[in-house]
Structure 1
Amino acid sequence: MSPKRAPSAPPALPGYDYLSLLGSGGFADVFLYQQLLPSRKVAVKVLLPDAVNRELIENFRHEANVMAQLSTHPSIVTIYGAAVAPDGRPYLEMEYCPRPNLGVRYRRDRFSVPEVLALGVQIAGAVETAHRAGILHRDIKPANILVTAYNRPALTDFGIATSAGGADDSSGMSIPWSPPEAFLEPPGSSPASDVFSLAATLFTLLAGRTPFELPGGSNTSVDLIDRIQRGDLAPLARHDVPQRLEAVLAAAMDPEPSRRHRTAMAFGRALQQVEAEMALPVTPLDVLDDALDAEEVDEEDGGATRIRGVVSIDPHASDAARGPMPGAAAASGALVDATIRRPQRAAAADPAPADPEADHPPTRSRRATLVTVLGSALVAVLGIAIVWLALSAGTQPPPSANPTQTVAAPAPLQRPVAPINVVGAVEGDTVTFTWTNAQPQPGDTFQYRYERSDADPVTAQVAQESVVLERDGDGESCILVRLVREDGRSSNDTEGCVSG
């Protein structure tokens, strides 16, 4: 709950009984109500009175429609309805998630690595779905990931509070999880910004603190912003976290947006690869989009990504006017509204020529003939197959008698080739390591880990094939280098050492 103001009074809603206050933010309050019919508890998010005007109400209704479409995603909070209270305040009626949100949990519980990986994949699917619908979240943080009664993470607060008319774009952000571009003048937002915030959220769950918070040091807002802009990531300091996961999170929190994972799906697949490497069950990545062929995706990753169709819902449009929602638009620059929407498509001046086949569908007799031909061909093929099986039955070895035999799981995505020729050269108090990318591709970066005997390990990511570091005073300096593709896949480590 925000300490800066007292919560507003809960509105009197016909058909609902007020129960309690659930929380307050900078732009809205959330109350618990008992719905009378059907009987259930619901969370009602109400915008503050001083942010209400006619334009806002129209924007709020539009965004509520989009939220309702997104809420069919299993990792996005379900929206039951939206309206304007008798006192003039717009409100959203949402699924009540009774379990503590992740912002509460990380301060008191230790998250396991498998749990963080699983919820990271699930929320990445939710974020990717929002991006494809043209929406940027802009405030992903642990407190905005609720937990349903079935212990499933559910993302909430898709910038609706910011659309309440706040003129200061920076007022809609949470500094510890915000990317560097959020602190520019003017601020910027893009899908890469949400990838940064999601990675920062997962880091927080693992570390029990925010990524750029320095334990025992000064952690004012100015200090955090300075470290975020410099990419000065504090060590995770957990021995059970694999180096590969640290590398994925560090890449997603790179200060330069172009060096992060290109999409939330790419980030989610990188987390899936970590699960596979740890011999964990691979969490499905659910994405709602009618622009992709589900069979095509299943062939690519063995079904780890599940695509389901979505169409734009406009209650005021005719059936003929309803069409698929456009894909996400990468937005940057100053944003008055935290939710980024595609502009409406203008009607074409000259409609495209109609498909000649559409005007002349096959007649009933042509269809019957086609069915007959296909049926005959199918019978012939089945007959040949039966004869072949009968002839080959005597020559085939008997099936295995092992009742526990199972079908092998699909192989994980192929690793890229590791860097080669990792060599070092000592000059004074520094050592310069260089290496070669045997199969370069656009967007390649390199993750390295350098551990000196007299200092904490350093893990960082660079775009060039060299790095200058402080020489290890113990006599030998060694580095581990791996190649990281633009889609998040990484190679094995290659070690290079130099004495002196």
Structure 2
Amino acid sequence: MSSKRVPAAPPVLPGYRFVSVLGSGGFSDVYLYEQDRPRRKVAVKVLTADLKTSGARASFESEANLMAQLSAHPYIVTIFEAEITDSGHSYLAMEYCSRPSLDMQYRQGRFSADKALEIGIQVASAVETAHRAGIAHRDIKPANILVTDYNRPALTDFGISGTMDAVQADGGGMSIPWSPPESFGSGATDGIKVDVWALGATIYTLLAGHSPFVIPGADNSQRELIARINAAPLPALGRADIPAELELVLATAMAKSPASRYSSAKDFARALMRIQADMNLSVTPFEVQEEIVAADFRPDDHSEPTRVRSVVSIDPDASTSNPTFPSRQANNTGGGASAAAPHINASPHVNTVPGETGSTTGLNRNGQTLPSAGPATPAGQAGAPSLGAPSLGAPSAQWNHPVLESTVPRSDQLRPAPGEAPALSAPAVPSKKRLWLGLGSGLVLVAAVVVGIMVFVGGGAPATVDPQAQKTSPPPTALIVGAEVPPVSDLAAAPKNGGSEWSWNNPDPQEGDKYLWASVSAVDTGTFKPITENRAFVVDDPNGQSCISVKLVRKNGQTSAESKKCS
């Protein structure tokens, strides 16, 4: 913000304590307050004009509502409160961004390509979020991009923004250095294309150290700026560390014709992300909330692998006295003393269903006891089946239940003669099938042992390795080591634009060669950046000296030693 106008006295706001003045502009003053509940520092923007007219009141409410809709985005300033002072001036209490804005930062020094790309993508995601909400900012510039305590950009000042339902018929008060050509005409303007231009001009400003059409030392009046914006081509950045692809992307975003620009902030951001990938930089995430579409759920589609089917299990150790599956025998007696719960030491009985017997103990389907299909026998009658065997005295018809047919073995030897009580402790008669299975398993085991012995005895000495075959077989890939990569040579510097353009020679050029270079100070070496050409631009340090460190990188990833030199 400009400090030409003296800010007004800070208003007394209930629940806030004044701390200091942050700045002032043509239409508002910004102060730092401390909020009582919750206790935090907030920036309070107070409009200089009071809200005497309905139009002024509507404009203020519009800005508050617009910023409130978007303030959940990580790169848009958060709005806490919108109110009117006792003197009739409106104010916004919003997130306090303690670090210098981008406007102050680029005046202190030009941004590196990787930092400018990162900020450009982050702000583009905020602009795209606003556009999806039907809001065009219309005043994107470095001064309106604040920086939070966590060093992230935060877009602010939606004071002249508006919905995109009605296309504005004038420029809307945009700042001239970051305004597209159509803002100075009398025709309508497209808010999306205006914001794409302004965002491109902002990124250009961070890289160049001045707005796109400002010429240092020349006449930069408003009239001259407007004439250059309308007719002059976009000046080249003149930096060797800026790839030509980035200059082309910025030129596309700032095309004279709106139709030739990127159709959306998202498309602009994707172009910047491709440059990051080409420069082997970490690609910045594009933070935009996607629409959540409810899935058309149909339970019968693709549900076969997880469908729970009916499972029949037999637990031979289960007891009818288990509290989880209590015995229902007491309900079969019809009342009286025998209707009481059985004593814990009473002999166990088969789980029964009233009026039926013959079910096996612990036979369950999905947690429920299954009855047998046999004829009913009153519970408690002599000869009731015990826990050890399934209703030996019942007629064979009771075993015709389809589930019991597949899970309970039958044997005619186990059925007693008619009128005979079943033997409770009769030993089980082994089946012939089990006997044959046992004999077969034993024979297979013996055969396996015999074969193993024969193979061991008759195998003899291990086969002799053919030395000629060994000579012709290629060594493993992991053991192949390339030749040592030679360092670059003949480092030379040519002074240019506040720094030096360095060049060097590759003593053994090979296909796929690249270079890593970094500026060197008296304290340490900066971050290495990949390039394919054998030249790089390094800005002079405060002593007017330019130092560089270069490495040669082969296609297989092998790297040479550093070559360092100062101009």
Scaled to the shorter chain, the TM-score interval is 0.5 to 0.7
With over 3 angstroms needed to count, the CA separation of the structure-2 counterparts of 1:187 and 1:214, relative to structure 1, is: farther
The residue aligned with 1:122 is 122
Alignment map for 1:293-312 (pairs within 5 Å)? none
**How far apart in 1 are the matches of 2:219 and 2:48?**
34
Instruction: With the length of structure 1 as denominator, give the TM-score of the two structures.
Output: 0.57
The residue aligned with 2:497 is none
CA deviations on 1:131-162 (whole Å, 9 max, x unpaired) are 11111111100011000000001111113589
**How far apart in 1 are the matches of 2:265 and 2:131?**
8
**How far apart in 1 are the matches of 2:199 and 2:206?**
11
CA deviations on 1:440-485 (whole Å, 9 max, x unpaired) are xxxxxxxxxxxxxxxxxxxxxxxxxxxxxxxxxxxxxxxxxxxxxx
8 Å contact 1:132–1:289 — kept in the other structure? Answer: no
The residue aligned with 2:242 is 241
Alignment map for 1:434-453 (pairs within 5 Å)? none
8 Å contact 1:199–1:252 — kept in the other structure? Answer: yes
**How far apart in 2 are the matches of 1:107 and 1:45?**
24
8 Å contact 1:129–1:289 — kept in the other structure? Answer: no
Question: What SS class does the counterpart of residue 143 from structure 2 fall into?
Answer: helix
With over 3 angstroms needed to count, the CA separation of the structure-2 counterparts of 1:247 and 1:33, relative to structure 1, is: same
8 Å contact 1:20–1:32 — kept in the other structure? Answer: yes
**How far apart in 2 are the matches of 1:285 and 1:378?**
46
**How far apart in 1 are the matches of 2:54 and 2:265?**
35
8 Å contact 2:136–2:162 — kept in the other structure? Answer: no
**How far apart in 1 are the matches of 2:303 and 2:217?**
79
The residue aligned with 1:264 is 265
**How far apart in 2 are the matches of 1:52 and 1:125?**
37
8 Å contact 2:197–2:253 — kept in the other structure? Answer: yes
**How far apart in 1 are the matches of 2:308 and 2:275?**
47
CA deviations on 1:80-125 (whole Å, 9 max, x unpaired) are 1111122212211110000000000101123111000001000000
**How far apart in 2 are the matches of 1:378 and 1:26?**
74
Per the TM alignment, residue 186 of structure 1 is displaced from its structure 2 partner at its CA by: 4.6
With over 3 angstroms needed to count, the CA separation of the structure-2 counterparts of 1:79 and 1:137, relative to structure 1, is: same
The residue aligned with 1:431 is none
8 Å contact 2:50–2:88 — kept in the other structure? Answer: no
Question: What SS class does the counterpart of residue 91 from structure 2 fall into?
Answer: strand
With over 3 angstroms needed to count, the CA separation of the structure-2 counterparts of 1:226 and 1:371, relative to structure 1, is: closer
The residue aligned with 1:174 is 175
Amino acid at match of 2:186: E
**How far apart in 2 are the matches of 1:294 and 1:205?**
42
Whether 2:135 is the aligned partner of 1:204: answer no
The residue aligned with 1:78 is 78
Per the TM alignment, residue 57 of structure 1 is displaced from its structure 2 partner at its CA by: 2.4
With over 3 angstroms needed to count, the CA separation of the structure-2 counterparts of 1:181 and 1:40, relative to structure 1, is: same
Amino acid at match of 1:149: D
Per the TM alignment, residue 185 of structure 1 is displaced from its structure 2 partner at its CA by: 1.7
The residue aligned with 2:216 is 215
CA RMSD of aligned residues (A): 3.3
Amino acid at match of 2:27: F
Question: What SS class does the counterpart of residue 288 from structure 2 fall into?
Answer: strand
8 Å contact 2:170–2:189 — kept in the other structure? Answer: no
The residue aligned with 1:467 is none
**How far apart in 2 are the matches of 1:183 and 1:58?**
26
**How far apart in 1 are the matches of 2:233 and 2:30?**
35
8 Å contact 1:28–1:161 — kept in the other structure? Answer: no
Whether 2:76 is the aligned partner of 1:57: answer no
Amino acid at match of 2:307: S
Per the TM alignment, residue 19 of structure 1 is displaced from its structure 2 partner at its CA by: 1.4
Tell me whether 58-67 or 234-243 shows the greater mean CA deviation.
58-67
Whether 2:103 is the aligned partner of 1:103: answer yes
The total of aligned residue pairs comes to 309
The residue aligned with 2:44 is 44
The residue aligned with 1:375 is 306
Tell me whether 169-178 or 137-146 shows the greater mean CA deviation.
169-178
Question: What SS class does the counterpart of residue 44 from structure 2 fall into?
Answer: strand
Amino acid at match of 2:203: L
Per the TM alignment, residue 375 of structure 1 is displaced from its structure 2 partner at its CA by: 2.6
CA deviations on 1:300-341 (whole Å, 9 max, x unpaired) are xxxxxxxxxxxxxxxxxxxxxxxxxxxxxxxxxxxxxxxxxx
Gap regions ≥5 residues in structure 2: 311-477, 479-567
Question: What SS class does the counterpart of residue 106 from structure 1 fall into?
Answer: helix
**How far apart in 1 are the matches of 2:235 and 2:48?**
37
Amino acid at match of 1:239: A
Amino acid at match of 1:375: T
Identity %: 52
Alignment map for 1:148-167 (pairs within 5 Å)? 148-160=148-160
Whether 2:229 is the aligned partner of 1:228: answer yes
Structure number with greater CO (CA < 8 Å, separation at least 6) is 1
The residue aligned with 1:483 is none
Alignment map for 1:84-483 (pairs within 5 Å)? 84-160=84-160, 170=171, 172-186=173-187, 188-290=189-291, 375-376=306-307
**How far apart in 2 are the matches of 1:172 and 1:62?**
16
**How far apart in 2 are the matches of 1:267 and 1:30?**
32
Question: What SS class does the counterpart of residue 107 from structure 2 fall into?
Answer: coil
Amino acid at match of 2:179: S
Amino acid at match of 1:73: H
Question: What SS class does the counterpart of residue 228 from structure 1 fall into?
Answer: helix
Per the TM alignment, residue 168 of structure 1 is displaced from its structure 2 partner at its CA by: 11
